[in-house]
Structure formats: structure tokens, C-alpha cells
A and B are shown apart, each in its own frame.
Chain A
Amino acid sequence: MKRKEIFVRYERCTGCRSCELACAVSHTAARNLFGALLGGERPQKRLYVDQVGRVKAPAVCRQCEEPPCVAVCITGAMHRREDGVNVVALPRCIGCWMCAMACPFGAVGRGEGKAVKCDRECLDEEGVPACVRACPTGALVFQTVEEFEAERRLAAAVSLR
């Protein structure tokens, strides 16, 4: 089966930050907002919604096939997991931030002196990432490149009518 990616349909983003919140919650022990808050957990989000002018833009790790963050990691902490997802092995991370410099998307964050990034350990029972599930407008979608591009082509075709 072809791998699915998190795609962004920028024109749909309202900047509500629900994706950020859901991402953080999915990385708690409680795995729900109220449980995490009442349990005093302090999770971190792995994606970021920025705004430039009127454009609202969620930035999430692209999970590159040839990841610059992995290429530059001197300790091997940043590595490609068997499922093709690029993740950090925290014990080996020395917080040098080479990965942060190398990532063209600004998708690496800081957590307690170590790199924190999207690890896709947030999938629900249907295999959908928390950020995608939380998006109320469909700005984030979880599809194969083929599916996403097919939709793009259709949209382009419709616009020709």
C-alpha cells in the first residue's frame, strides 16, 4: 500500500490551531484533553500554524524521503524508522540543532533541550493522524500523493469549465 502523507490545503486554514492542540494531546499519557489537563501533563505540539499577511499556514514535518535532518544528524539520533517515518531517538540527541538548521520547513521543535518532531505516533483507530482528525475545515488531509494530486487535477479541470 502506498504511504499516506499529511497534505495542506492552505486556502481552507482558518488558523484555529485545533491541529496544534490535538497534536499535543495525542502525545500525552491520557490521550484526551481533559485527562491531560487534570493530570497536569505538559505535552508539546509537533506542528505549527503561522500567519503571514492573510495567509494562515500549518507547517508539519513533510517526512521527506531523503530527509536532510537525518543526513546532518551527527549522533544518529534523527533516523528513519522502518515504516519510513523520520523520528528522533531522544537518548542519543545532544541538542545541537543541526536538524533544525537543515529542515527547510522549520518542523523541528525544542523540548527539554532535545529535538521534538512529528513522529506519527498519534494515529487513531482508523490510522488518521490527530492533527488531520482535528481539522474542522479539511485544511489538513491524509492521503497518498496520488490521491491528493488526482483531486488537484480534478479541481483544475473543473476550473476550466
Chain B
Amino acid sequence: MAKSCKVSLDPAVCEMVEKAGRLEVETVWDRYQAMLPQCGFGETGLCCRHCLQGPCRIDPFGGEPKAGICGATADVIVARGLDRAIAAGGASHSGHAKHIAHTLKKAVRGKAPDYAIKDKAKLRKVAERLGIPTKGRSEAEIGLAVAEAALADFNEKATEAPVTWVATTVTEKRSKLLMERGLMPKGIDYEIADIMHRTHYGCDADPINLLQAGIRCSLTDFAGCHMGTDLSDILFGTPQPVVSEANLGVLKADMVNVAVHGHNPVLSEIIVAVAEEMKPEAKAAGAGGVNVVGICCTGNEVLMRHGIPSCTHSLSQEMALITGALDAVVMDYQCIMPSLATVAECMGTRLITTMETMKIPGAIHIPFAEERAKEIAREIIRHAIEAFTRRRGKPVDIPQNRSKVVAGFSAEAIINALSKLNADDPLKPLLDNIVAGNIRGVCLFCGCNNVKVPQDRNFVTMARRLLKENVLVLASGCGAGALMRHGFMDPASVDEMCGEGLKAVLTAIGEANGLGGPLPPVLHVGSCVDTSRAVALAVPLANRLGVDTDQLPVVASAPEATAEKAVAIGTWAVTLGIPTHVGVMLPVVGSRYVTQVLTDKVRDLTGGYFIVEPDPEPAGQKLLAAIDERRAGLGLNVPGGARR
């Protein structure tokens, strides 16, 4: 009988939460309970710690104190706090991209022999988009030029030639709008540093100017995401549909279970590459082989390129260890809870950190270097094999839950699938179905799980609603992780989950591609950096229609957002003109003015806006209304008649 519980919709997680309780191993949900009540000043963004005269906090209800010690009002404090969250998000996603750019550079210079350019066509395509000459040049030369162009995007660039990974990846109209409105970033690191400067004690105190800088800075996150996707595809291949499985049931008691956890494929690709060749060593230790599984976004990266099963995501990362079957967790960076060290100690799992930017006391640190990638990966897997020998024969508790997943829908894969319906004009079938209303609109689910929401509840409730209403749903990051473990990426679910129009479209595309059935209800576009793939699909769609991205019936949602990266992604989605839902309260509610700008006034600037709605039912309704408004704007039919 499937377990159920209050903290998660996933029965596998519930089973492990119960076990953790029995073993008295503390989990994220226990720590959340211990943290309650949370501070209302922090919740509303009214706490400022930017100088040593503070901390200051403002009465959210208009009483005293009305301003910080320096005189900063609620509006200023809230806007500054939001800006710093955006800058942190941008720094993380672009840091990830920078890492891959360095790897590409080392690879083409022959300094990292375990890496090579895998997708030459994409390399040329990206180079051409960036205006890098390709004719008569070798892949190594082009690769070096692309890597150097990527790294140059981090510096302060000339006003007329700003960050290329923004200027060349959005519509021409958007690029022009960003330039005219002072929203085009001059350089990735430049804008992030600019935010830290202007939010320092005694600098920018104009909330609107602060928000404008925050919007500009959010595009550094977009540039980082897009660059991360492009360069990963070049080095590791552009994803194509692949069949795999998701949830804790992918762990195998008699195998050496190694989880790759974190974000960057630079590490996880190599772990996957050497896992097979380590099979004899694993067998010698009494195991059937090495079973690599994914946790969080690096799991998405290897899922969509190699069909590596996804173990779990985000909030339930500790649960993978609670099974007792996980021999090692290999980590790079981002969204890795330090609590894993305690859980690992209880469960006998080896935790292995690999990056200078992320060490955890209690973990083994094995510094990763691209120059010796496979050698280091083998060393890491040997740790897992050793842990297995200690675990061998001991009982484990692996929940039986596994969902079938068809993943790997890069923009290229989607367009390729559409080309089977119309080889000359692949976007036409998609547009025709949008016009006819078989596809009402498109929604991208992204972002994290958040302990404040029963895990996956918002994703599942909203996706179910939108699919029934014939909205084409894409998912990235831990949003994809949430939906995949509930069967949303299994083509067999189409019949039950999708409205008639959408069902017909997914079936037509699936059959034209020889799948003998439909595409899955939700298309897996990849990791959180791969949120950029949704833009890579929306931009040609807008161009084909002769409109900008703020006119498309496209919406986005991070219904269980946690990370600052999600704040940054949400802000750039709004900057690209997308109505963007967030299902947890952003720490901005303490300023009525900032809240109003983000949910309404920003529309005049970018065409996009935030929808903040914690309840998934009305949230779904609001996204449908936003889609219908866009449809009406394009003169398309709206279900139930136009509302304006």
C-alpha cells in the first residue's frame, strides 16, 4: 500500500520520512518545524543587515520604526534585498557557465583530454549566432573562439556590444527594447558587482532605480543559463528524447549506488563515462556493477543525455540516503543541503565534495580537475565501491516507486520532432495548433521544492489543471524532477491527464516520429540552466509570428521556489515579457510599492509581470487568464469567448 504523509505527495518520500523518524534521523521537515515561527520582518523583506549600525527592521503596518537608521524606507530595504537575491542567483548560474567555458577552453587546447567537442553542428550554430567566423576553421579554433567569447561576456563590455549571450539569444525587438530602456547588461560579473555596490550602505535609495538595476542583473542569470546550456551541448551533446525512470526505486540493493548531486555536467558526465569501466572492480567487491543515479539538476543533465535514472530532487535529497542503499554522493555545487553530512554519517554513505567553492565538514574532499577528470572520477567511484563492501549483505529499504520518464526535449529535439510533420517549416504545425486552440498556450514549470509547501503539491495540482485545459507544459530543474516522479513524463499518462486538443497534438507528433504513441504530457527540457531552452523555443516562435516574446501565449511558474537562482530566473522571465507565477511569498510584501511594481507596473517596462499566488488552484486559473489575454491580444479565439 502506497504511503501518504503531510510533507510530500511522493509515497516513496513518505516511506523514507517514516523510516527517518524511526531512526531518529533529523530531516529538512524536522528542522523546519524547529524553525517555526519564522521572523515576520525577514518574511516580508523588511530586515536590513547591510551595515553595522543595524540590524534594522521596519514595521510592516506603517508604525514606528518607519525607516532604517540611515533613513532607508521599507521600499528601499525591500528593493535592495531583492536585488541581492537576483545577483546571487546570477552569480550561481553564470558561475556554472563560466566553469564549462573554462572546460571547453581546456578541451580544445588539448589540456583536458577527457573532454571533446561532441556536437559540432551546435558549435557552429552557436558561433554563427555570436558572429564568430566559422568558414575554413577547425572545430578547435571555433571552440576556442566560442569559449573566449563566453568568458569575455563576464567583463564590462562596450555599450554598443553588450553581453552577447543576451543580445543574440532574444528576439531583435527585445534586444532593442532592452538597449533603449537601459536593461541590457554590460557584462555578467560587472552587473553582479554593480548590484553589490549600489546596495551598499549609503548608495542607491531610489526603489525604482534599484529595481531597474535588479531587472538588468537578472539577465546575467539568463546569460549564464543560456551559456551553460549551449556550452554543455557543445561538449556533451544536445539532448534527444531518451527513456528512463525516476524516483527512489531506481536504487539497486546489489549494485554500487552512486548519486551525482548538484548541477554541472562537467563532473557528472565523467562519472557516468567511467562507471561502466569500473564494473569489474565493482564485481570483484561482490556487486552487480555501478549504478549511477541523479539527484537535482546534474541528475537532469545526465538523464537527458544518457538516460541515467533520476533518484530524487531538491527537498527530498536526504531521503535518498535514508534508504541505506546509497554508497556515495558525488557533489559539485548548488542546492546541496549541508545536513547530508549528518544523514550520511547515520546511513554509511560516503559524501564526496569536489569543488573549491563547496566543502562540507564530514565529507571527503577530492579536488576535481578537468585535466585529470577520469582518473579522479575513478578514485571517486573506488570510494563508493569501498562503501559498498561495508554495506554488502545489510538490509536496505528501497521504496518500490519508479515512474517511466521520457526526457531530453531540447529545443532542437522539439523542432526536430515537429519537422516530421512539416520538414520545410517545422514551427508551422505548432503555430497552427496554437491558432486552432488545440494548444491553448504554453507553460514552463521550473524552480525548486520548498519545505513550506507539501512537496510537489503545487506542481502536480497546477500541471493537472493546465494539461486538462490543453496547455502545452514544459518543465526544467527540480520542477521537472517533481513532475517526472508523478508520471507526468510517461506517454501512457497522456490519455488521463491531457485535454482532447493537446492529446491529439502530442499523439500526432509522437506517431510522426515513429513512437507508436504520444509524446509525454510534460516535456522535460532539462536542468535549471536549461530553462533557457524554453526561451530558445519561444524566440523562433515569436520571430515566425513577427511578434515579441511578451505577446506569446506563454507563461512560466515556479510554484515551490526556494533558491535565489529561482528569484533570478523569475525576474528574467518577467524581463523577457512572460507572466510568471511564484507559489511562495517573495520577501517583498513589506513594501506595497515594490509589490505593485513587480506584479503590475513592470508590465509597462517589459510586458511581463509576477503573479504571486500560494494556492495552486487559483494560481492555475490566473495562468490560464494570462494565456487567454495573450491569445486575445493576438486575435486568437479564447475558450469561452474573449474577455475584453
Which residues of A line the B interface, CB within 8 A?
Answer: 16-18, 21-22, 24-25, 33-34, 36-38, 40-45, 133-134, 136
Contact = CB atoms under 8 A, between A and B. Distances in A.
Nearest to A38: B589
B63 interface: yes
Contacts of B61: 24, 36-37, 41-44
B336 to A, nearest CB: 27
B40 to A, nearest CB: 4
A37 B37 contact: no
Given A33-B43, A34-B589, A37-B589, A136 B62 contact: no
Nearest to B591: A37
Given A34-B585, A37-B590, A22 B37 contact: yes
B544 to A, nearest CB: 39
Most buried by A among B37, B61, B614: B61
A10 B270 CA distance: 57
Nearest to B35: A136
B593 interface: no
Contact of B63 (A16, A18, A45, A136): A45
Given A33-B43, A37-B44, 20 more contacts: A16-B39, A18-B40, A21-B40, A21-B60, A22-B40, A24-B61, A33-B44, A33-B60, A33-B589, A34-B43, A34-B585, A34-B589, A34-B614, A36-B61, A37-B60, A38-B589, A38-B595, A42-B62, A43-B61, A133-B37
6 contacts: A18-B37, A18-B40, A34-B43, A36-B61, A37-B589, A42-B62
A38 B37 CA distance: 20
A18 B60 CA distance: 12
Interface of A is mostly: helix
A42 B131 CA distance: 56
A54 to B, nearest CB: 16
A25 B589 contact: no
B391 interface: no
A21 B590 CA distance: 12
B57 interface: yes
A45 B40 CA distance: 14
B450 to A, nearest CB: 15
A125 to B, nearest CB: 15
A136 B40 contact: no
B41 interface: yes
A24 B44 CA distance: 14
A94 B585 CA distance: 41
A41 B589 CA distance: 13
A44 B63 contact: yes
Contacts of B44: 33-34, 37
Contacts of B43: 33-34
Contacts, number: 48
A6 B461 CA distance: 42
Contacts of A18: 37, 39-41
B585 A21 contact: no
Nearest to B57: A17
Interface string B20-58: 000000000000000001011101100000000000010
Contacts of B595: 38
Contacts of A44: 61, 63
B60 to A, nearest CB: 6
A112 B300 CA distance: 58
Given A17-B57, A34-B589, A25 B40 contact: yes
Interface in B563-596: 585, 589-590, 592, 595
8 closest Cβ contacts across the A-B interface? A21-B40, A134-B37, A37-B589, A33-B40, A34-B585, A42-B61, A34-B589, A24-B61
A21 B40 CA distance: 7
A21 B41 contact: yes
B41 A17 contact: yes
A136 B43 CA distance: 14
B233 to A, nearest CB: 41
Nearest to B599: A38
A40 B589 CA distance: 11
B278 to A, nearest CB: 49
Report which residue of A34, A41, A136 has the largest number of chain B beta carbons within 10 angstroms of its beta carbon: A34
A111 to B, nearest CB: 11
A64 to B, nearest CB: 26
A134 B38 CA distance: 8
Contacts of A17: 41, 57
Indicate the member of A22, A24, A37 with the most B CB atoms within 10 Å: A37
Contacts of B614: 34
A134 B39 CA distance: 8
A121 B61 CA distance: 19
A16 B55 CA distance: 10
Given A21-B60, A42-B61, A136 B589 contact: no
A26 B73 CA distance: 25
B433 to A, nearest CB: 37
A160 B39 CA distance: 36
A32 to B, nearest CB: 10
Contact of A136 (B37, B59, B590): B37
A40 B62 CA distance: 10
Contacts of B57: 17
A33 B585 CA distance: 11
Nearest to B46: A21
A130 to B, nearest CB: 9
Nearest to A20: B59
Contacts of B59: 21
A24 B62 CA distance: 11
Contacts of B590: 37
Contacts of B39: 16, 18, 136
Nearest to A135: B37
A150 B41 CA distance: 34
